Structure 1
Amino acid sequence: MDRSDSLPLVGVVALQGAAAEHVAAFRRVGARAVEVRTPADLDGVDAVALPGGESTTMSHLLGTSGLFDALSERLADGLPAFGTCAGMILLAAEVLDGRPDQRCFGAIDISVRRNAFGRQVASFEADLATDGLDEPFHAVFIRAPWVERTGDGVEVLAEIRPVVNSSGTGKPALVPVLCRSGPILVSSFHPELTVDDRIHRIFLAMVGASRDH
C-alpha cells in the first residue's frame, strides 16, 4: 500500500475564497488535500475545511451546488471541520447580523457577528496568545467576524481586544477569535494566508484523534 494512502484526506470547499491556500497548508503539514465542489467530492474525506471568503455568497453556492445538504449530513455524523473567517460564520449556530436567507450548519454552538472588526479598510494583523502554542500566532484579520456567545463545551483558544465593542460604547471586552468544540475548529482570522502552519497542525491533530475513535 502506498504510504500516502494512510495520511488523512482533507477536503477544502472550493466554491469561493482562499481554498488553494488551505490545500497548500494542509499538504505542508503532512495531510492529503483535495478541492471540494460537488457532493461526490466529499467521498472518502476524513475532514473538511471551509475557507475565508464572503459568507453569503458561499452559503448560496453551497446550496446551488448541492453541497450544503451533503456536507450537513457528514457534519452531523461527526466529520471534523475547520472554518476560517467566512467558514467560521457558516459553521456557527447563529449569525447575529446575517441575511434572512443565509444558511449555516450549526456545527459549533457559537453566535458570531459578521464584519465585526470593520470593513476591508479596517483589516489588520495581530499577535495572538493561543492555547496549545508556545509562541504567539501572527494572525491576519480581513473583514473578520468575532464570537459574541459561546455555548457549553466550546473551548476558547484565543481572544483579542477589539478597537470598539459591538455597541460602539464602553471599554471593549476581549472577544473569542479561535474556538474548538469536539471535532470543530473555527477562527476569525486567516491562518491559511501566513507561513505559520501551527493552527493547521492543531486541526490535523483533531482529525487524527477523530480517526482513532
Structure 2
Amino acid sequence: MVKIGVLGLQGAVREHVRSIEESGAEAVVIKKVEQLDEIDGLILPGGESTTMRKLIDKYNFMDKLREFANSGKPMFGTCAGLILLAKRVIGYDEPHIGIMDVTVERNSFGRQRESFEAELDITGVALDFPAVFIRAPHIVAAGENVEVISKHNGRIVAAREGNVLGCSFHPELTDDHRLTAYFVSMVKEAKGTQSV
C-alpha cells in the first residue's frame, strides 16, 4: 500500500486524510521534516498560503520539500497548496516551492463570502466533479509541459505537470474522492517505476 503524506502545518488536513484512506492508501500527517523520507507522495492542503509559508520556513521544510519534488515523488497542491507549488505568483517576486510551471493569482474568485460550488469536467477523473471554491486562486498561465485538466468559466482550475498535480478548489471537502484517487494512482505509478 502506498503511503501519502498530508503537510500538517495548517489547513484542511483531517479531510485529506479521510479522502486518502477512502481511496485505498495509507495517510500520514507530516509535522516533521524527517517524515518526508517515509512517504511515497505528498498533499499540500488548502489553508492560508502566507501562513503556510511562514510555518514551512519556521520548521525548515523548504529545502526538503524541493528535494522531495525533485526526487520524482508526486505532489498535489490544493488551493493554497497550488500557490505553494507555482513557479510564479502574481504580486510576489519569489515563488514558494516553485516547481510547477504555472502562474497563479491568489483569491482570484473573490473573498470568503464569494465561496461557491461548481460541477467540473476534469480530464481523466470525472465529468461532474463537485468542486468547492473558497477564496480560490486560479492558474493564469501554464507552461508548455503542463496539461490543463479542468477549467471553470474559461479559467484554469486544475493542471498536471509530470508528477505534480494542482487545483484551485478543495476536493477534500466533499464525499467525492475521485480526484484524490487519481493522485493515489499517480503515486502508485511513480512508485512502480522507481527502483525498489
Q: TM-score, normalised by structure 2?
A: 0.95
Q: Which residue of 2 aligns with 1:205?
A: 185
Rg larger in structure: 1
> After superposition, what is the alpha-carbon deviation per residue over 1:61-118, rounded to whole angstroms, capped at 9, x for unaligned?
00111111111111112120010000000001110124x5x65112210000000010
**Contact 2:87–2:95 (CA<8 Å) still a contact in 1?**
no
Q: Which residue of 2 aligns with 1:130?
A: 122
Unaligned runs of 5+ in 2: none
Cα drift, residue 180 of structure 1: 0.5
Distance 1:180 1:61 in 2: 26
Distance 1:93 1:134 in 2: 27
Q: Answer yes or no: is 1:87 the counterpart of 2:81.
A: yes
Indicate the SS of the match to 2:87. Answer: strand
**Contact 1:12–1:51 (CA<8 Å) still a contact in 2?**
yes
Unaligned runs of 5+ in 1: 1-6, 162-173
Give the share of equivalent positions with the same residue, in percent.
Answer: 44
After the TM superposition, list the runs of 4 or more consecutive aligned residues in structure 1 that deviate by more than 2 angstroms: none
Report the structure, 1 or 2, having the larger strand content. Answer: 2
Counterpart amino acid of residue 42 in structure 2:
V
Which region of structure 1 is more displaced relative to structure 2, 70-79 or 52-61? Answer: 70-79
Distance 2:116 2:98 in 1: 28
Alignment map for 1:88-103 (pairs within 5 Å): 88-98=82-92, 103=95
Which region of structure 1 is more displaced relative to structure 2, 69-78 or 183-192? Answer: 69-78
Counterpart amino acid of residue 204 in structure 1:
V
**Contact 1:144–1:188 (CA<8 Å) still a contact in 2?**
yes
Alignment map for 1:1-12 (pairs within 5 Å): 7-12=1-6
Cα drift, residue 44 of structure 1: 1.5
**Contact 1:38–1:66 (CA<8 Å) still a contact in 2?**
no
Q: TM-score, normalised by structure 1?
A: 0.88
Distance 2:28 2:187 in 1: 15
Query: Cα RMSD over matched residues?
Result: 1.1
When the two structures are aligned, how many residues end up with a matched partner?
A: 193
Indicate the SS of the match to 2:122. Answer: coil
Distance 2:91 2:116 in 1: 22
Distance 2:146 2:57 in 1: 27
Q: Which residue of 2 aligns with 1:186?
A: 166
Q: Please, which of 130, 148, 155 is the counterpart of residue 175 of structure 1?
A: 155
Counterpart amino acid of residue 162 in structure 2:
G
Greater relative contact order (CA < 8 Å, ≥ 6 in sequence): 2
**Contact 2:126–2:178 (CA<8 Å) still a contact in 1?**
no
Distance 1:120 1:186 in 2: 20
